[in-house]
Amino acid sequence: MATIEDFERLDIRVGTVIAVDPFPQARKAAWKLTIDFGGELGVKRSSAQITVHYSQEQLLGRQVLAVVNFPPRQIGPFISEVLTLGVPDANGAVVLLQPEQTVPDGGRMF
């Protein structure tokens, strides 16, 4: 069983997608996201396998949730700095987690 202390070690923040780029080198279809988490954290990048449900246009300006305190991960030629969070639909394609209202970037999930 996980403890509340385990949960508190995860730093999950909200940020706004400010750029979306193709990632043709990825093994599975993915976008390269640039996400603004606000003043304290700034801008971070993430590789996300979310092409089934989201176009570049749909992602720009969208708020997303991401784990921001995992170590950076090399994905092909790209360094993913945060883990963008989602859940699988009935077919296993990722549906993003996001706040239901606009909130300030950088807000921590609790």
Mean pLDDT by 10 residues, the chain (110 residues): 95 98 93 96 97 97 98 95 98 97 97
CATH number of 70's domain: 2.40.50.140
- pTM beyond 0.85: yes
Total number of domains constituting the chain: 1
pLDDT of residue 103: 98
Range of the domain at 72: 4-92
Domain contains 16: yes
Domain contains 71: yes
Domain contains 82: yes
Domain contains 73: yes
Check if the beta carbon of residue 65 is closer than 8 Å to that of residue 107.
no
The secondary structure of 37-65, three-state, reads CCCCCCEEEEEECCCCCCCHHHHCCCEEE
pLDDT of residue 42: 98
Domain contains 39: yes
Domain contains 83: yes
Structure tokens at 26: 């990825």
- CA distances 17 to 5, 7, 27, 34, 93, Å, are 29, 25, 22, 6, 20
